[in-house]
Structure 1
Amino acid sequence: MGALTKGVDSGAPRPYIALAMAHAVLKKPLNSLGFAKSEAQTRVVVAMSGGVDSSVCAALLAREGYEVIGVTLQLYDHGAAVKSSKSCCAGQDIYDARRVAEMTGFPHYVLDYETNFRESVIEDFADTYLKGSTPIPCVRCNQTVKFRDLLAVAKDLGADCMATGHYIQRVDGPDGPELHRAYDGGKDQSYFLFATTPEQLDFLRFPLGHLDKSETRRLAEEMGLNVASKPDSQDICFVPEGRYTDVIEKIRPHAAQPGNIVDQAGTVLGQHRGVMYYTVGQRRGLGLGENTGTDPLFVIRIDADAKQVIVGPRSALQRSEIYLSEVNWIGPGTIADADGLAIKVKVRSTRPPESATLHVDGDEVLVRLAEPDIGISPGQACVFYEDRADAQRTLGGGWITRTA
C-alpha cells in the first residue's frame, strides 16, 4: 500500500489491517484510504497548517496518486503570527503550506476563517478563564472550525474524505469506524479529538496515525519538503510566548475583577486582581507573602461568582468524582448503555489513562475514579478509553464542570 503503511508489530490495530480484512470479504480492490476505486479517482481535501505533519500527510497522499486538494485556514492576524515560528495557520505557516503544494504538484487554497475562529475559539477561551475554568482551545478548534466548518467545505468540493496530520488512528470496526490512539504514544492526540462525532469520523482519515514522529520527519526529508526541520508548534497558536492573560485582556478589556484569596475555612489571606490569572493546582505566584504558613498552598478551587480564589494544602486537591457536560460518545451502543461501565480516562493530555467507572443518569454524566487524583480542573476534558491495559480505543469524553 505504498508510503502509508509500515511493518506489522504486536501493538494497536492498524487501519490497513482493517482494510485488508474488508478486501478479503468484499473481493474488491480497496485503496489505502478505504475506497473501492483507484487513487486517481479519489479526491482528498487535506487540512494543512504549514507544519511538518500536515505537509507530510498531503505529500504522501499526492505521491500515492490521490487527487489532493490542500486547504489552509487563515485563523488570525498575519502580522502578529509572523513573529512566532512556533504557531500555526498564519503568516509563515501559510507560505510553507503553499510551498509544499507547489513542490508536490497539487492545488492549494487559503480560506479566511478569522471571524469563525475568533467567535468559536478565542472568545470561548477568554470567557472560560473569566468563569474560573481552564480551557483547551485546541479541542474547540477541532470541534468547530476544523471538523465542522472545514469538513463542510471539503464536502462542497466533492471530496471523498478529508485527511489531517493528527496522530490518531481510524480503525474500521464491526459497527463502523472507531477512533484509536496513535502508534506513537508520545504524540497521540486522542485527548484533543474526543469530540469527533461518528458522522465526522466516517469522513475523516488520519494517514500518520501508524507512524512515529521520527519517521514523519524522515519522510519529509526524503521528499525534500521545505518543512522537514521545522520545529513543532509549542504554544497555543494565538497566544504569543504563552502569555494567555494578554489575549484575555485584549478580548475582554476591564473584565477582570479583583477579589479575595481565602483558605478552606473562608479566612481571607490576601487579594487577587482577577480569577483569570489563576488555575486549579497552581502553587507559584499567589502573592501571599508570610500568610502561607509552613506548608505550601495550592489553588484548589475558583469561585468566579464570589470572586474568590480558594487555596489549601496539596492533599485538598484530591478528587474522585468528575461531573461532565457536552459529552460525546463514540463507543459501542449509546451513552445510556454505558452506565456502570469500567473505563480508562485521561483528565489531562499529558497524563496516562487511569481506571474509572462511567455513570449515566439522564443528562448527568459522572466519572468516578478508582483512585483519587489531583489538579482536575473545570474547563478541561475527561476523555474515555476502553478498559484494557493498552487503552487503545477512544470512547469519547466530555468537558469537566465540577469535581467532588
Structure 2
Amino acid sequence: MRVVAAMSGGVDSAVAASRMLDAGHEVVGVHLALSQSAATLRESARGCCTIEDAGDARRVADRLGIPFYVWDMAQRFADDVVADFVAEYEAGRTPNPCLRCNEKIKFAALLDKALALGFDAVATGHYAQVVETPDPAAPAGVRRELHRAVDQAKDQSYVLGVLDADQLARAFFPLGDTTKTDIRAEAAQRGFSVARKPDSHDICFIPDGDTRGWLTDRLGRRPGPILDTMGQQVGRHDGAYAYTVGQRRGLGLSVPAADGAPRYVTATRPQSNTVVVGTRELLGVDHIVGDHARWCGAAPEGVVAVGAQIRAHGHEHPATAWADGEQVQVRLAERIRGVAPGQSVVLYEGTRVVGSATITHADRR
C-alpha cells in the first residue's frame, strides 16, 4: 500500500512513519507548512509547524530512507481553521481548532491530495486505534472502527471524532497500541534526534498561549458590561468574544457577590457585547443539542446509550443520544458544568467512537 506519512517534526509522527515502513508499506513523508510566516525557531513548546520542525521531519525521513516533501497548505489552514476560530469566538462560541484541522486539513485537504497523487492512505501520529471488524455489508467485508488508544493519558480519539467512514477507511494510526513512554524509548532506539523533543501544547497558531490577547489583536477592543443574572453591572470587559461559559479566572469583577462566592461566566451575548456571570450551580446542564453531525460509520437508529465527552482530555459521561434530522440530541444521566456552544461533543460506545457534533446549546431538562 502507498501511504503518505504526515510528519510534523515531532516524535510521534516519526515513529508512526517508521512503523508504517516496517509493516511493508511504500511510505512517503510529508510535512504540512501551515503557517504563512513560519518562525525559524520554535518560540516555546506550545507551537508547531516551524521551519525547525520541518527540518526535524526531514532528518527523520532521511534516516528512514524515504522520500520527503513539504506541502504548502498555509492558505487552506488560514481559511478553514484560523478564520473559523476567529469567527466562532466572535459569534460567542468556543471552538476546538484541532478537530477542525483534522476534519478540514489532515483528512480532507491532505488525504484528497494524497489520493489524487495515487496514494492509498494517510498515516499520522495520533494516539487512537483503528479496529477492523468483519462485516459482509462493508467494502472488502471489513468495517473499520475508531477506538480509544491504549494510553488513556494521551488518547486523541476525541479530536478524531469528526472523521467519517470514508476518511477512516483511508487512515492509519500506528501508535494507538503503545504508551507515550514506550514511543519515546522506541524513537531513541531508532536513533531519532526528536526522541526527547517536547510535545506541542494547546493551540499551535497561538504559541504563547494568550488566546485573549491573540483575539484582541484581530478583533480589536470592544468594551462592554459584565452583568449578574439579575442584570446588575458587576464589571467591564474588553470584548465578550474573549470569554467562554464556565470561565472563572480573569473576570476582574468590580462588585463582589453578596455571599462572597466565586462567580462564573454563564453566557456570552455577542449581539449586545455582554458577558453574564452567576453561581457555579447555574452551569449545570443535562441536555445538549449539536449540529454538524459527523458519524464514524452509520448514524445511530433510535435512542442509543453512549458515553459523551465534551473536552479533549475530559471525562466521559453516561448519556443517551439520538439523531434528530440535522441535529444530535444528547441526554446526560447527570448534570455537568461548563458546556459551551461551539465545543464538540464526541459520543462513544465502549472504546469505539460513534460520532461527534458541534454544540449549539445546552440546558436543563
Provide the rounded CA distance (Å) in 2 between the counterparts of 1:296 and 1:241.
28
Question: What SS does the corresponding residue of 1:232 show, helix, strand or coil?
Answer: coil
* Aligned residues with identical type, % of pairs: 43
Tell me the secondary structure at the aligned position of residue 144 of structure 2.
strand
Question: Structure 2 counterpart of 1:298, which letter?
Answer: Y
Q: Is the 8 A contact 1:297 1:312 kept in 2?
A: yes
Q: Distance in 1 between matches of 2:309 and 2:101?
A: 20
Q: Which residue of structure 1 aligns with residue 304 of structure 2?
A: 341
Measure how far apart 1:206 and its partner are. Answer: 0.9
Q: Which residue of 2 is the match for residue 25 of structure 1? A: none
SS, match of residue 400 in structure 1 = strand
1:277-326 CA-to-partner distances (Å, cap 9, x unmatched) read 21111112211134333111111111111211111010011011111010
Query: In structure 2, what residue type is equivalent to 1:227?
Result: V
The equivalent residue for 1:18 is none
**Structure 2 match to 1:323:** 289
Q: Given the alignment of the two structures, is residue 372 of structure 1 paired with residue 338 of structure 2, yes or no? A: no
- Equivalent in the alignment of 1:180: 147
Native 8 Å contact 2:234 2:255 kept in 1: no
Partner of 2:118: 158
The residue type paired with residue 26 of structure 2 is E
Q: Does 1:301 align with 2:271?
A: no
CA positional deviation for 1:359: 3.1
Alignment of 1:68-83 (within 5 A): 68-76=27-35, 77-79=37-39, 82-83=42-43
Distance 1:284 1:334, change over 3 A: closer
Aligned residues: 354
1:81·1:87 contact (CA, 8 Å) conserved in 2? no
Deviation at 1:64, TM superposition (A): 4.2
| Residues 1:287 and 2:247 are matched in the alignment | no
Gaps of 5+ in 2: 136-142
Q: Is the 8 A contact 2:46 2:209 kept in 1?
A: no
Q: CA deviation at 1:247?
A: 2.9
Are 1:148 and 2:113 matched, yes or no? no
Distance 1:81 1:136 in 2: 25
Indicate conservation of the 8 Å contact 1:61/1:68, yes or no.
Answer: yes
Asked whether 1:120 is paired with 2:87, we answer no
Give how far 1:260 is off. 1.4
Aligned-partner Cα distance in 2 for 1:313–1:328:
34
The amino acid across from 2:2 in the alignment is R
Contact 2:293-2:327 within 8 A present in 1 as well = no
Q: Which amino acid aligns with 1:207?
A: P
Query: SS of the residue aligned with 1:261?
Result: strand
Runs of 4+, deviation exceeding 4 Å? none
User: Counterparts of 2:112 and 2:33 in 1: how far apart (Å)?
Assistant: 16
**Cα shift at 1:85:** 4.0
Which of residues 160, 174, 183 in structure 2 aligns to 1:193? Answer: 160
The match for 2:226 is: 261
How far did residue 235 of structure 1 move?
A: 2.9
Matches within 5 A, 1:262-277: 262-277=227-242
Alignment of 1:212-291 (within 5 A): 212-250=179-217, 252-254=218-220, 256-291=221-256
Alignment partner of 1:359 is 2:322: yes
Contact 2:215 2:242 survives alignment (8 Å)? no
CA distance in 2, matches of 1:394, 1:277: 31
* Corresponding residue for residue 133 of structure 1: 93
- Describe how 1:381-396 pairs up with structure 2 within 5 A: 381-386=344-349, 391-396=350-355
1:382 maps to a residue whose letter is: V
More moved, 81-90 vs 241-250: 81-90
Give the superposed CA RMSD. 1.5
**Do the aligned residues in 1 keep the contact of 2:144 with 2:169 (CA within 8 Å)?**
yes
Deviation by residue 1:196-233 (Cα, 9 ceiling, x = unmatched): 01000011111111111111111100100010010111
TM-score, structure 1 normalization: 0.84
Aligned mates of 1:330, 1:111 — CA distance in 2: 27
Counterparts of 1:400 and 1:232 in 2: how far apart (Å)? 28
CA pair 346-109 structure 1, distance change in 2 beyond 3 A: same
| Residues 288 and 86 of structure 1, relative CA distance in 2, 3 Å threshold | closer
Deviation at 1:263, TM superposition (A): 1.2
